[in-house]
Structures are given as structure tokens and as C-alpha cells.
Amino acid sequence: MARIEDLRKIATRLRIHSLRTTTVAGSGHPTTCLSAADLAACLFFREMRWNPKDPNDPASDEFVLSKGHAAPLLWAVYAEAGVIPLESLLNLRKITSELEGHPTPRMPWVKAATGSLGQGLSVGVGMALAQRLDKSPARTFVLLGDGECAEGQVWEAANSAAYFKLRNLVAVVDVNRLGQSDPTMHQHDLGALARKFRSFGWNAVVVDGHRIAAILAAFKKAGQGGKPTAILARTLKGKGVSFIEDKNGWHGKPLKADELAQAIEEIGCLPDVDSRRFIHKPKPFRKRKRVVALGFPRTPYAEKTATRLAYGNGLLALGRIDPSVVVIDGDVKNSTYADKFFGAFPDRSFQGFIAEQNMVGMGIGLAAKGYLPFIATFAAFLTRAHDQIRMAAYSFSNLKLCGSHVGVSIGEDGPSQMGLEDLAMFRSIPGALVLYPSDAVSAEACVEAAAAHRGLAYIRTTRPATPILYPAKETFAAGGSKVLRKGEGDAATVIAAGITVHEALKAHETLRQEGIGLRVIDAYSVAPLDVETIAREVAQTGGRAVVVEDHYAGGGLGDAVAEALAGKADLAHLCIRELPRSGKPDELMKTYGISADHIIRAVKELVAA
């Protein structure tokens, strides 16, 4: 077991590595590494139980570096632990290196990308929940900065950790007093932070973050009373180097070569200690093997059914065959129909209350531990977690999101409740699967397609009930589309998705009676888009295309089709072009121009042009 003297030496080594590598890289945040070096040494080389041979050993404690700009410190830890070669540290921030400016899972020991502050504690909540589900004795440690405690998400996470009684979760806050541009709100008033954590249901312990013995003593209090524990460590930014220690103006600045030399002179040379031998290996622990069947039995539908309801049915059926499925709700489960899963699988269901940021962060944590999280709320409120969703992508997270109540078709609740920008949000994420089913059959199939997709997937569901369009066994591949109406000599093609597919079918019927053929495509896979089918069908209808969507003009299906058909088609784009108001769904679809009548008019204009 590492003695205080050993840990002090290790911390010094971590400091020197952090200074050197940022100077070599010419950028980075050395001072924020120096404040946390003693904490990191105590964590990785004494308190934590972990297996440096396997980043995915379920027996190991988990670690999340919420203050992601301290990445050089984390890389130094793994080098000291023998996980990566010491020399590799000098590749920090190079395009060829896994050691990025902020942690991402390109480096396999990182389970969740950080660097957008205030997100790590939510990830930790998810991991600690996963450990509990696994019945694992392992714990989760999250290292935060004091500056990021201004982010509301930290308090959402604190709330939920206390609610779930996560005694296996420890937050270590490196209170170094200085933000990027100014001192932090509470500076070294650690009592203020402790009062906050306690009022949110946590144990809070205040320590000197540079006194090894005090840090180790604080860890002993973790988990008392069955509560999550915050260790609030008073530290100095730039600790150990006189001319940067506790000085404003040194955030995100590497030392110049001569400054580095001076710093090393102050700190002394690399102390001689083999850090690797102080790593505490965990007791072996094996997770239950989960048997996952392929494909779930579909619900038979005859009557009009809302796609959100079918989502709920699909999720329930998926949960029956796949024990790794977990569901998080933001107090809207009776609207998204996630409540069906909650009723059947209470142990795998988590009430996140109205805190969308934390909900997504928890999902990232659960996914990092091998679970398959489905998270649903109103699509409009997923914008609340846009930053977290962005970070989920950088975490290569296997997260499934469902946004219900999309578009003006929700009706009277008004614009604040209408998801009208969600396609733009998800289409901008490289690799995200974006599905938008039009009926209950395709909605259930989309749940299966999302589960099968490795990575971020989004399902867009509709509030009102819509007619059934597909036979029960129809398959819906990611990247596919369905040609629903097709005739020789069709005058134009309409590309629709979700509720507008039904408007397109009405338009088809009316035009048919007038002798005009309208090809109808259900573009249920908005990303990737079925470019080949759409281009072929549009070409067959004289290069005339109408896109119609219950979404704003920018970034949605219309943009996707415009890019796919550039130069190949005359395009009419029907969508919501102004801020809508409350009203009846039909009225709103008519008022804002996405009804069957508008499709008919657009087709006739294209034909006449």
C-alpha cells in the first residue's frame, strides 16, 4: 500500500509530466492539472480498486474526469500506471495520438468524453446505477472543478444521486479558486459548496487537497449513511510552481521552455518511485451473462394508433428480450409511453424528474457500462440536452433517444411544447441514426432498428393517432424508405415522413381523381437518407419533387433531400416557416402550409412550371 511519501512522489511525477507535455504540445491546461495532482495520486494509487490490464473489468472502480481540461493529468496517471508508455505522453494533442486535448474514448480508458463542463457527475450517476444493477461492489469516482459547479447539471446530478441513494458514488471537487477569466463564485469558501451538497442530500467533507493524509482520511468517510459523498478539496491552481501558483491569468496556458526549466528547478527532478506497484487490484467480479434474443414480437395494430404509443409498446417488447435495456424518464412517461416499460421493469427504470441534461448524462454512464439506455421526452425538451447529446456522440455512446410531441400537429399546447428543431439537431451529428415513423407498425420497427444500431439513434414520434399503413411484418432498415404509391407517368414525387405521410396519401388520392399521378415516399430514415431510392423515383417523375415535413425549414428532411437531389430536381419544400401558435392540429397544419391541400398546390405548380 502506498505510503504518504510514495503518493507525494507520484503526485510530483504527475505534475512534471503535465507541465512537460503541455509545453511540448504548445497548448493545454497545466495549472488545472497541478491543483488536482495530489487528489489524482491518492485516487489511482491508493483509494481506487482497478485493473490496469483491462479498461472494461467490471470489478474495477470507475473514474470520470469531469474537469476534462485536466486531460494531461489523466494521461500522466495512465502512463504512471503502465497503461500507456511514458514516452507517448509527448504526443499529447497530436492528430495521430489518442491523447487528445480533452478526454475522448479514442483512448480506451476514457468511458465518456468530457470537456464541456458540468457533465461528468451525471455520467457518474449512470455508472453507479449500472454498478448497482450489476450487483458489483465497485464504486464510481468523479473529479470535478469548482468552476463547473456553477453548471445546473451538477445539481441535477446531485439531486438524482441522492434520490437513488448512490453510496457508491464519490465526487471529488478540486476547489482551486480560479476559473478561466475570473475567480470562481465561491473562491475558497468551501463551506458554501459543502452547504450546497449537504442540502442536496450528500455527505460533504472539506479537506486540504494538497495534504495527502487528509485526502486519504476523507475517502474513509465515503458512503456514510448510505449517501453519495462529495470531497471538497481546497487546492491551489498551479500548485508547486511559485510564479503560477494561485495566480489569475494562467488558465489554459502552457509554460514556455524557460519557464518550464524554472518550474522543474522548483519542483525538482522526477522522483524515483514505481507507481505501478501501488495500484490496488479489485477482487475478481464477474457480471451475469445476459442472453439477448433477436427481434421481438410485434404488437398487432388495426385501429389508428399514435406512434408514441407504439414506441412504448415496442420498448416494452424489447425490454422483455433484452435485459440490458434500461429506461430513463423526465416525468413525462405517461405522454411518451415509456410508462409501459416502467410498469413491467421497475428495476431497470429510472425516474429522472424534470432534468433532461442529467437524464442524458446518466444514459451515457449506463451505456458506458454496457447497458442499452432508451430516453424519451418531448422532442422540444431534448434541446435542453443538446450539449449532452453532442458529448454523447464524442463518447461513441450507444444511446437511444426518443422525442415525442413533434411539430405543430401537437395542437393546443402551443409552440413551447412543439418539437420543430429536433431533426436539425440530430441530423447535424455525424453517424447518428434519425428515424421518423409514420404509423404504429413502423414505430415498433424503428425501436428495433435503433436498438440494432451501434451508436446514437433518435426516434421522432407523433402525438395524434395516425392510420396503420404497413402490414405487421414489414421491415424497416436504417437508411431505407418506402415507396407507398407509384404509377406509370406519375407527375411528381412527394417525400414525406411521420404525420405528413398521411397528408401525402390524401393528396395522392385527390390528385388521382383529377388524373394526376403522385408518387409517395415515406422517408422514415431521415439520416442516413435513402438517397438512391429518392433520386431514382424523383428522376422517374420528371425531376419534380415535393418535400413536406412538420418541422422548421432549416436542417430537417427538406435540407436532407435538397442536398441529396442537388442539380437533379425541382424541389418544393413545405414546412413550418414561422413561429406557430396554439390551435387545433388540423388548423395548424393548414395554417402553416403542410396539409394535403398544400401538397396538391405544390405539385400543380411544379407541373405547370
List all residues 6 or more positions away from 99 whose beta carbon is below 8 Å from its beta carbon. 71, 75, 84, 88, 89, 91, 92, 93, 107
CB of 289 to its own copies, least distance (A): 31
Quote the least distance from Cβ 284 to its own copies, whole Å: 35
CA dist., res. 236 & res. 39, Å (int): 12
Write down the least CB distance from residue 588 to its own copies, Å.
Answer: 7
CB of 321 to its own copies, least distance (A): 25
Q: Which residues contact 8 (CB under 8 A, 6 or more apart)?
A: 38, 41, 212
Whichever of 7 and 420 has its CB closer to its own copies, that residue is 420
Nearer to its own copies, 115 or 314 (CB): 115
Question: For this structure, is 356 an active site residue?
Answer: yes
As to burial, measured by CB atoms within 10 angstroms (0-12 exposed, 13-18 middle, 19+ buried), residue 235 is buried
Nearest to 587 by CA among 600, 601, 602, 597: 597
**182 versus 266: smaller Cβ distance to its own copies:** 182
Nearer to its own copies, 48 or 149 (CB): 149
Beta carbon of residue 263, minimum distance to its own copies (angstroms, whole number): 21
The vertex-216 CA angle with 275 and 51, nearest 5°, equals: 40
The neighbour count for residue 532, using CB atoms within 10 Å, is 11
The closest of 525, 568, 526 to 545, measured between CA atoms, is 568
Burial of 374 (0-12, 13-18, 19+ CB in 10 A): buried
- C-beta of 297 vs 554, nearer to its own copies: 554
The nearer residue to its own copies, 240 or 556, going by C-beta atoms, is: 556
Minimal distance in Å, beta carbon 443 to its own copies?
Answer: 20
Angle at 63 between CA 197 and CA 386, to 5 degrees: 70
- Give 431's contacts (C-beta < 8 A, 6+ positions apart): 393, 455, 456
Classify burial at 220, counting beta carbons within 10 Å of its beta carbon; exposed 0-12, middle 13-18, buried 19 or more.
exposed
Q: Which amino acid is at 133?
A: L
The distance of closest approach from Cβ of residue 414 to its own copies in the complex, given in angstroms and rounded to an integer, is 4
Collect all residues with Cβ–Cβ distance below 8 Å to 140 and sequence separation of at least 6: 61, 62, 63, 64, 124, 127, 128, 131, 166, 168, 169, 170, 365
Catalytic residue among 47, 356, 444, 503: 356
What 3-state DSSP class applies to 522?
A: strand
Residue (of 574, 572, 592, 593) closest to 491 by Cα position: 572
DSSP labels, 411-445: -TT-GGG-B-SHHHHHHTSTT-EEE--SSHHHHHH
Give the whole-angstrom CA distance, residue 501 versus residue 508.
10
Of 296 and 342, which has the nearer Cβ to its own copies? 342
Of 212 and 545, CB closest to its own copies = 545
Q: How far apart are CA 366 and CA 372, in angstroms?
A: 7
Minimum CB distance to its own copies, residue 595 (Å): 14
The amino acid that residue 424 corresponds to is A
Q: Active-site positions?
A: 356
